[in-house]
Amino acid sequence: MDALKLPFVTALLRTVVLAVLIAAFVSPLNPPASASAACTVDPATPKRQLRAMWISSVANIDWPSRTGLSVSAQQAEFRAWLDLAVSKRMNAVVVQVRPTADAFWPSPYEPWSQWLTGTQGGNPGYDPLAFMVNEAHARNLEFHAWFNPYRIANHDDPSRLVATHPARQHPDWRFAYGGKLYYNPGIPEVRDFIEDAIMDAVSRYDVDGVHLDDYFYPYPVSGQNIPDAATFDRYGGSFADVGDWRRNNVNLLVRELDQRIHAAKPHVSFGISPFGIWRNAGTDPLGSRTSGLQSYDAIYADSRQWVKQGWVDYLAPQIYWHIGFSTAAYEVLTAWWSEQVRGTGVQLVIGQAAYRAGASGQEAAWQDPAELSDHLHDNRQHPEVSGDIYFSAKDVRADRIGAFTRVVNAHYTRPALLPARGSAAAPAAPAITSATRGPSGVQLSWTGSGTSYAVHRVDGTPAAADPCFFADARNLIRTTRQTTFTDTTATGPAYTYYVTALNRTHQESAPSAGRAVTSSTPGGFSVVVDNADAGFAAGSAWGTSTYSTQLHGADYRFAQPVAASDPAWFRAAVPSAGSYRVEVWYPADAGYNSATPYVVAASGGNRTVTVDQRTGGGAWRDLGTFTLNAGTYNVVGVSRWTSTTGYVIADAVRITRV
């Protein structure tokens, strides 16, 4: 999917043969996990669903926004795209890394892409693919690498290619057609080369998926024939029809890539985003009730066979037409593709035309803010549909006429797990080690062996976990690759949290034991102040450490004892005068201080409690109940004034109304 196809699409629309051609890539998906028959699930909050957008690099459509940006500017732009995806509750991005027989990584096969620096072969000064994968995974977004297989250039002048370009070194590998250069799909050495170039990225980078777009043989140009007659004479073998031979060439690429990808990395998914129409029923009784361009005949893409043979993990047809469109209706094609994948194990994701919503010159249907959202309502009728991908990122950001905001509000109110793929065993259930209220919300920590984790929150304190808590996403509040999370939306008096672990292919563990967070007082006041919070202050003599695994939060503070107070203070807003329980958290170690002075600023004067920090760490330790005045002030201090040896530790305090 890229804008370079739009002039062709416009011409086809004028003849009512075709609506839109834009190519891109999607991610592999398995059908959403089934909920227990006893549970009533909400279709608006599905447990599993791919939600992604295409980030197109060709012609600088999305990223980089222009050539020649500095490394820091390129990286800032890409981070912003990922942050956009997270803000829309997406869980994957599909990024074009080989747009025109070039590379967004240091490939031994092909030159650096011109869309990075403006000069083909120009080193951008860093490894974009490594950077992009790391940044996506840091946000728990899957990264699907999008490759255009055959396109060499959007012009037909080989001399404009860098001198080392394989298409210049092997002129017999290429042909010109429609003002562009293409690799010849009928040459076996070309097929091997394209596969090798793609597999270089698969083998060297931690990508989650490989995606091919809809450009196979070139889209037809009136009055021109594909110049491959000599290739057909040489390699056609037993094929009597050139069309059958061309389809077989594409099929070989698809089948061999599928085999090579899974042999190298079984967890990586392989998928294709074909043109939305395979064949029309008027041509083939197996086709759809449409009358547009047929990709089987026009570009020699037998996408239905790829599904039936299981050569792909997912298919993401570009269904870029509105509901009720006479030539190719959205609802007709979604139903037809659902029927094709049914029972095959191939996942179905729908390519959505975000670029059409509210855009000038589009049909009246696309001026309706509800059109795009209505597509997802239609999807709910088909359990085979595993999610959606939007072309393209800039159109998601533009949100013309509020169309994408409507999608988010109607369909993406909760996060979603990615559809599971394959049959790997699920991880063991994780264990929540800490759940405490802090000034910014409930702070959770857990241990586990997952690649990622899902955090669920249930109101109240149920006696046991009900399987229906996890049947859809109504209780899912976060997915993350970390083992900590702060729930900033926890404003109620009582919650119970559960965490599940997911492996690389998204099989989900049983839930952890629940951890309740409640307030013991009618006022419901309880606050945790960590050493990393704004309410903590300490002098320059206090160091920072992550040495002990018993820490609270990300780190803790330490200092040598001296004959002076120099306390580290924990500041809190006490809502009203009264009795409060004061607890402290510290990591314990045999070398820490045996008589650390904790100072509580109680009503009527400071109270000091000494604590042996050699033992009892990694848990809340009660200092006692104290009468505190109302106001925001330094409530608890950790003093360095002690005659005993060993570091004094300041980590966290908890203050609770009793």
Based on its alpha-carbon atoms, the radius of gyration of the chain, rounded to whole angstroms, reads: 30
Angle at 47 between CA 404 and CA 266, to 5 degrees: 100
Same domain, 535 and 616: yes
Same domain, 369 and 466: no
Same domain, 284 and 344: yes
Task: Encode 206-245: b = buried (16+ Cβ within 10 Å), e = exposed.
Answer: bbbbbbbbbbbbbbbeeeeebebeebbeeebeeeeebeeb
> What is residue 489's predicted lDDT score, i.e. its pLDDT?
87
The answer to whether residue 239 sits within a structural domain is yes
Same domain, 542 and 486: no
The answer to whether residue 637 sits within a structural domain is yes
User: How far are the Cα atoms of 136, 161, 388, 419, 628 from residue 316, in angstroms, in the given order?
Assistant: 21, 32, 8, 14, 62
The answer to whether residue 576 sits within a structural domain is yes
> What is residue 433's predicted lDDT score, i.e. its pLDDT?
94
Q: Which domain holds residue 637?
A: 528-657
Single out the residue in 518, 537, 571 at which a domain terminates.
518
- Contact yes or no for 483/443 (Cβ under 8 A): no
> What is residue 240's predicted lDDT score, i.e. its pLDDT?
97
Single out the residue in 379, 411, 443 at which a domain terminates.
411
Residue 540 identity (one-letter amino acid): S
Same domain, 532 and 514: no
Name 57's Cβ contacts closer than 8 Å, sequence gap at least 6.
63, 64, 95, 96, 97, 99, 104, 113, 115
Single out the residue in 456, 490, 518 at which a domain terminates.
518
Where residue 583 sits, what CATH number does that domain have?
2.60.120.260
Same domain, 328 and 391: yes
The answer to whether residue 441 sits within a structural domain is yes
Same domain, 290 and 436: no
> What is residue 57's predicted lDDT score, i.e. its pLDDT?
98
The answer to whether residue 271 sits within a structural domain is yes
What is the number of structural domains in the chain? 3
- Contact yes or no for 273/24 (Cβ under 8 A): yes
Q: Model's pTM, two decimal places?
A: 0.77
Same domain, 541 and 615: yes
The answer to whether residue 334 sits within a structural domain is yes
- Contact yes or no for 181/156 (Cβ under 8 A): yes
Q: Any idea of the CA torsion for 593, 634, 575, 604, to the nearest 10 degrees? A: 90
655 — phi, psi (to 5°)? -120, 120
Same domain, 306 and 213: yes
592 DSSP β-pair partners? 647
The answer to whether residue 370 sits within a structural domain is yes
> What is residue 526's predicted lDDT score, i.e. its pLDDT?
83
> What is residue 423's predicted lDDT score, i.e. its pLDDT?
93
Where residue 485 sits, what CATH number does that domain have?
2.60.40.10
> What is residue 37's predicted lDDT score, i.e. its pLDDT?
55
- Contact yes or no for 165/111 (Cβ under 8 A): yes
Same domain, 542 and 477: no
Q: Residue 475 carries which DSSP code?
A: T
Same domain, 349 and 253: yes
- Contact yes or no for 288/332 (Cβ under 8 A): yes
- Contact yes or no for 413/44 (Cβ under 8 A): yes
How many Å apart are CA 411 and CA 504, to the nearest integer?
25
> What is residue 202's predicted lDDT score, i.e. its pLDDT?
98
The answer to whether residue 346 sits within a structural domain is yes
- Number of residues that this document lists for the chain: 658
568 — phi, psi (to 5°)? -90, 125
Where residue 231 sits, what CATH number does that domain have?
3.20.20.80
How many Å apart are CA 469 and CA 175, to the nearest integer?
58
> What is residue 18's predicted lDDT score, i.e. its pLDDT?
34
Residues of the chain with pLDDT under 70: 1-37, 519-524
469 — phi, psi (to 5°)? -60, -30
User: For 419-467, what is each residue's pLDDT tens digit?
Assistant: 999 999 999 999 999 999 877 789 999 999 999 999 999 988 888 899 9
- Contact yes or no for 78/416 (Cβ under 8 A): no
Same domain, 545 and 513: no
